[in-house]
Chains A and B, each alone.
Chain A
Amino acid sequence: MKVIKKLFSNPTSLIGILLLLAFAVIAVLAPWIAPPPENSRDPYMIPRDGFGSAPRPPSEEHRFGTTEGQYDIYYGVVWGTRTAFRVGVVITIFTATIGLAIGSLAAYYGGLLDEVLMRITEIFQAFPFLLAAITLSSVLQTVYGRGEAGPLMFLAKVLAVLTFGHNPSQPVDPIQLQIVTGMLAIISFGWMTYARVIRGNILTVRELEYVLAARTVGASNQRILLRHLLPNSIFPVLVIASMNTGAYVLNFAALSFLGLGAQRGYADWGQMINFARNWIPSLADHWHIVIYPGVAIVLFVLAWNLVGDVLRDVLDPRMRGKGNGL
């Protein structure tokens, strides 16, 4: 309760929360504020107004103008809010869960298991994050391109079900598959901070008297881990999660910008900015193709970072002013 009160009384986090609320409202109301055309099969594909190449400036008909290929920017920005929430939240849930599992196993059982799990964590950290994500997504795209069933396809399906509410009995839609591939790449290299922090925290908490007390009354390992250790070391995970949700959205946008995330024409902010690469010499005239989707990304990421920054201060005064837990 103290935490929530602090979040709402601090001006920075209040701005962050209000921004997130505004984005949530836009995401929920998307079908009304940017209604998809009647013949549209997938509302996430941005409607096109013709096939001309050059972007058109904002007008009555297209509030934010159109980008290359006459994709409506206003529509893309509005529906892109949904994509950003889905991608950010699902990646955060997966990375936090993997990190929690690995970190708590390593800390609780210690010994050889700890040594092995921590070395694996370090190996994952030995890769520069974005490079690794790019690499993995290009490998996965090659593998998925074959269209064979297998454990990897199953994983993609699980992600598609969670992210898009995909019907599990159907094969994954290729457009969604490409997005899921990018998410999978980020998840694979995004869990290490959680694992290390949760391990460190459990190691500290484990020495406290109440754990000894629980053990003396005969509580099982599983019970001590799940009922006593995890709940008491979970706060830092919340902080990292809120800081990281912004970072994940940013990294997914980077993948999309490079052409490795969402497909051309999908309502995704990074993908929309990708078009601007072809118009660099004339960007002064076509400013709207960068500014509108760009501002959307910045505000969205900023909102998560503002909340995360205050959460960090509230939950752990010792961490005040230290690095952002990268």
Chain B
Amino acid sequence: MLSYIVRRLLILPILATGVTVFVFLLISMLTPYERAALYVQDVPKRQGALDRLIEKYGLNDPIHVQYWHWLMGQKDPDTGEVKGGVLRGDLGFSQTGSSSVAAVIGRRLPATAELALWSAVPMIGIGVWLGVVSAVNHNKLTDQLLRVFSIVGWSIPAFVFGLLVLMIFYARLGWFPPSRLSNWALEVVQSGAFTRYTQINTLDALLNLRFDIFLDGLKHLILPVTTLTYLNWALMLRVTRSSMLETLRQDYITTARSKGLAERVVIWKHAVSNGLIPVVTIGGLVLISLLNGVVITETVFNYPGMGSFLAQAALSLDVISVLGVTLFSSIILLCGNLFVDVLYGFIDPRIRLH
């Protein structure tokens, strides 16, 4: 198992390189004119000006030269200033966000992180709890019902679910509005009196002791968090269930029972601590599901995060922005998967001792 982790560590650079090559191949499907946005802020409308830019940045060079320039950046022959370079964090200019793609990601990421962090707690909590309940009542009515529920849940698209909760809790009842903050709260947050430590509104509100803003943030988060949670709990449930079923068959559980321990203790103390270990392995899947989920969820709820930016950019065929966000997300995913692998080896004593 340890060798597995080492192997994953060694493969990571290969995968990361593969991801950049793939993204660059997609970029190279664009014409040099369309690619000029990688280097210049505003693509000038005059034909001649653009031709000079293409010449200057070598957008007609052989593809491997261009890949290198795209990766490492390129010296501007006039000013000597290095421009571009994905490794330097320069992902080009976003027409949709009217600033650099990196800056847009920087602005939008905290909102998405806030959404994802708030979703993680109920998602894991509900999924694991129901998974354990399902395994303990194996093949009984509760188990069957939960199974049917999870299949039905699996079949409802996020946008239908999101629109349904909006229909009920916003349009009908007026409880939880879309977007991220109410106008009055947004004014306070953007004013000088409010320090934005983390850009995560609910956290900043607590640090600034503005509980009214904290509550307003929560009110806007409840529906999107519910949608993201619903997208993932079925997955958690299934993995927890099957792993718990394996654990409950082990001898030490029989021993614990025969010692006369209460069933509650046997399950929640003895079985869960081992049964939950494999659940960690789906951390990567959950991360994928969150990254996919935020695109739809943020779009439905008009929530200003990375996902809604991606959808907006894709719709206006702003390919440079779209590729930038996708590249960024895949790198997050690669790191997340690595973290999960290492964590798995760390928390499972059987693996640690090998």
Contact = CB atoms under 8 A, between A and B. Distances in A.
A142 B299 CA distance: 22
Contacts of A231: none
A12 B285 CA distance: 27
Nearest 9 A/B pairs, CB to CB = A123-B18, A130-B292, A302-B155, A284-B171, A283-B171, A128-B291, A283-B167, A301-B155, A294-B160
Nearest to B23: A135
Contact of A130 (B172, B295, B300): B295
Interface string B43-84: 000000000000000000000000000000000000000000
A284 to B, nearest CB: 4
Contacts of A163: none
B208 interface: no
Contact of B291 (A131, A294, A322): A131
A77 interface: no
Contacts of A297: 157, 160
Q: Which of B31, B147, B154, B318 has the most CB of A within 10 A?
A: B154
A298 B29 contact: no
Given A134-B322, A136-B26, A298-B152, 10 more contacts: A128-B330, A134-B295, A135-B322, A138-B314, A253-B157, A258-B314, A260-B314, A321-B245, A322-B239, A324-B154
A145 to B, nearest CB: 8
B29 A143 contact: yes
A139 B319 contact: yes
Consensus secondary structure, chain A interface:
helix
A7 interface: no
Contact of A260 (B159, B172, B315): B315
A26 B42 CA distance: 51
Chain A, interface residues (CB within 8 Å), range: 35 or more
Interface residue range, chain B: 35 or more
A254 B296 contact: yes
Interface of A: 12, 119-120, 122-124, 126-132, 134-139, 141-143, 145-146, 246, 250, 253-254, 257-260, 270, 273, 276-277, 280-285, 287, 290, 294, 297-299, 301-302, 305-306, 309, 321-324, 326
Contact of B156 (A122, A123, A298, A321): A298
Contacts of A260: 314-315
Interface of B: 11, 14-15, 18-19, 22, 26, 29-31, 34, 147-148, 151-152, 154-160, 163-164, 166-167, 170-172, 178, 235, 238-239, 241-242, 245, 282, 285, 288, 291-292, 295-296, 299-300, 302, 310-311, 313-315, 317-319, 322-323, 325-326, 329-330, 333-334
Contacts of A134: 295, 310-311, 314, 322, 326
B163 A129 contact: no
Contacts of A287: 167
Contacts of A146: 31
Given A257-B159, A283-B171, A323-B235, A137 B314 contact: yes
10 contacts: A12-B151, A131-B329, A134-B295, A135-B26, A139-B323, A254-B159, A277-B300, A281-B171, A290-B164, A324-B235
A131 B159 contact: no
A127 B326 contact: yes
